[in-house]
Amino acid sequence: MSQTENTLDHVEVQLGSVAAYTVGYVLSILLSGLAFGLVYTHALPRPVMFGALCGIAFALILLQMFLFLGLNLNPGHRWKTAATVFTLPILILMIVLTIWMFYTLQLRVMPH
């Protein structure tokens, strides 16, 4: 039985709290509801809408990374955060360079 108690004392087991999950849940529903409402009511002109939706997506991702996945800089979790931060440049390179490459390809090879 003592093994179970030691196991449950582990820093990974104790990560997160009911409050963090509940706040994360409520804010996720509210922000995605806001994004849906903007699209459903056609509240904004197209370029502004694009910026607003990207902003909401960014906020939602950060919110869930901190409140659901529990990213932090405590010694027990530092390496998870470091690995995640070092993955970001790869993600940005993959997506942004692909968009850029195909955009300029379109400009260079398609007849205007």
Partner 1 sequence: MAFDQTATPRLFEERTPDLIGNRTFGFWLYMLSDVIIYAALFAAFSVLHTHYAGGPTSQQVVEPLHGFIDSVLLFSSVWLLGLGMRSMAVGERAMLIAFMGLAAIVALGFVGFESYDFAHALGKGESPQRSGYLSIYFVLLGLHALHIFVGILWMLLMMVQVAFKGLTEPVVSRLLNLKIFWMFQSVIWVCVFVFVYLLGAVG
The residues of the shown chain that bind partner 1, judged by CB under 8 A, are: 3-5, 7-8, 10-14, 16-18, 21-22, 24-25, 28-29, 32-33, 35-36, 39-40, 46, 49-50, 53-54, 56-57, 60-61, 64-65, 68-69, 76, 79-80, 83-84, 87, 90-91, 94-95, 98-99, 102
Measured from the CB atom, the residue of 10 and 72 that comes closer to partner 1 is 10
- Beta carbon of residue 108, minimum distance to partner 1 (angstroms, whole number): 15
Measured from the CB atom, the residue of 4 and 107 that comes closer to partner 1 is 4
**Cβ atoms of 44 and 38 closer than 8 Å:** yes
69 burial (CB, 10 Å; 0-12 / 13-18 / 19+) is middle
How many H helices and E strands in the chain?
A: 4, 0
DSSP classification of residue 10: S
